[in-house]
């Protein structure tokens, strides 16, 4: 329905049924539905939408980090952001930064999708994060996903109130008296660990020269035997050349 008024004398209608309408009269007529949104209008709408999305991505990926309150912290040179959007720094890179970047315990770097990361590079910083203020900081989402796939959702990766409830449920198992009773078990495993390290570093094999040891596997074996003896009263014999199945699978992972 379109309202039309104050026609001038030159107005004429081609439809026969409209010939009786006189000029300078007010009339309302029904017209066929028209596509009011022309291709130009649609193109403009699409352009504006794309521009908004690109602007938002540019802000999230590149600008937001420039406004971060942590921008004063020491940071490594990681190159152009556009070339590392799909790169998450590995352990070797983090160790290199600890050795080469002067810091007071915290290093700022960028991970996947240029997300800002804060890396605790000293024991004091780790103590602040995990002991003094454990609920003031949240683990990166990628770390949560990876840990959840390996260990499932447990005490190590829970956050906030959920972690408080889980920790409270575990407190009886880790009270001071029970921990003191576990000292002999832990000392025995540590003694085996030291002996194995000394034995491996003294040997010169084809796979490694003397002075080197597979420290990761040995520490894992010590942890497995400690948990088995203390929690299950069973040794998995993870230090042996041919450990039991659970010790073998876990210590080799």
Which of 174, 203, 233 is a domain's end point? 174
Q: Does residue 105 fall inside a structural domain?
A: yes
Co-location of 222 and 243 in the same domain: yes
Co-location of 188 and 169 in the same domain: no
If you write DSSP's letter for every residue of 167-185 in order, what string do you get?
HHHHGGGG-HHHHHHTHHH
Co-location of 169 and 191 in the same domain: no
Q: Does residue 225 fall inside a structural domain?
A: yes
Hunting for tokens 């491996």 — which residue is that?
A: 200
Co-location of 108 and 162 in the same domain: yes
Q: Sign of the CA dihedral 198, 202, 204, 208?
A: positive
The count of structural domains within the chain is 2
Judged against a pLDDT cut of 60, whether residue 227 lies above it is answered with: yes
Co-location of 110 and 144 in the same domain: yes
Which of 157, 174, 191 is a domain's end point? 174
Question: Would the pTM of this model clear 0.85, i.e. be above it?
Answer: no
Co-location of 165 and 216 in the same domain: no
Judged against a pLDDT cut of 60, whether residue 252 lies above it is answered with: no
Give the integer Cα–Cα distance in Å for 144 and 147.
Answer: 5
Question: Which of 29-38, 186-195, 203-212, 233-242 has the least mean pLDDT?
Answer: 29-38
Confidence at 59, pLDDT banded by 50, 70, 90: confident
Kindly state the percentage of the chain with pLDDT values over 90: 11
Question: Which of 1-15, 27-41, 99-113, 176-190 has the least mean pLDDT?
Answer: 1-15
User: What integer is the mean pLDDT of 88-101?
Assistant: 90
For 21-42, what is each residue's pLDDT tens digit? 555 445 444 445 545 556 777 8
Confidence at 3, pLDDT banded by 50, 70, 90: very low
Average pLDDT, whole number, for the chain? 77
Co-location of 75 and 168 in the same domain: yes
pLDDT score, position 8: 45
Which of 120, 140, 174 is a domain's end point? 174
The domain in which residue 218 lies consists of 176-251
């Amino acid at each position: 329905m379109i309202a039309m008024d104050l026609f001038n004398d030159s107005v004429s209608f081609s439809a026969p049924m409209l010939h009786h309408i006189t000029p300078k009269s007010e009339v309302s007529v029904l017209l066929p539905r028209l596509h009011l949104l022309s291709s130009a209008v649609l193109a403009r709408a699409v352009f504006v939408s794309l521009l908004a999305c690109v602007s938002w991505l540019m802000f999230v990926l590149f600008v937001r980090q420039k406004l971060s309150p942590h921008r004063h912290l020491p940071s490594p040179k990681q190159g152009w952001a556009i070339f590392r959007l799909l790169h998450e720094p590995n352990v070797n890179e983090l160790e290199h930064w600890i050795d080469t970047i002067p810091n007071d315990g915290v290093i700022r770097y960028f991970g996947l999708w240029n997300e800002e990361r804060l890396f605790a590079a000293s024991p004091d910083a780790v103590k602040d994060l995990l002991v003094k203020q454990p609920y003031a900081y949240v683990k990166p989402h990628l770390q949560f996903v990876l840990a959840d796939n390996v260990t499932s959702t447990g005490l190590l990766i829970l956050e906030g109130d959920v972690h408080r409830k889980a920790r409270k449920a575990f407190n009886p198992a880790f009270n001071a008296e029970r921990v003191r009773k576990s000292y002999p078990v832990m000392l025995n495993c540590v003694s085996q660990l030291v002996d194995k390290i000394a034995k491996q570093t003294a040997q010169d094999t084809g796979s490694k020269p003397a002075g080197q040891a597979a420290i990761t596997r040995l520490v894992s074996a010590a942890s497995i035997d400690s948990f088995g003896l203390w929690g299950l009263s069973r040794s998995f014999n993870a230090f042996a050349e041919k450990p039991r199945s659970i010790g073998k699978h876990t210590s080799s992972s």
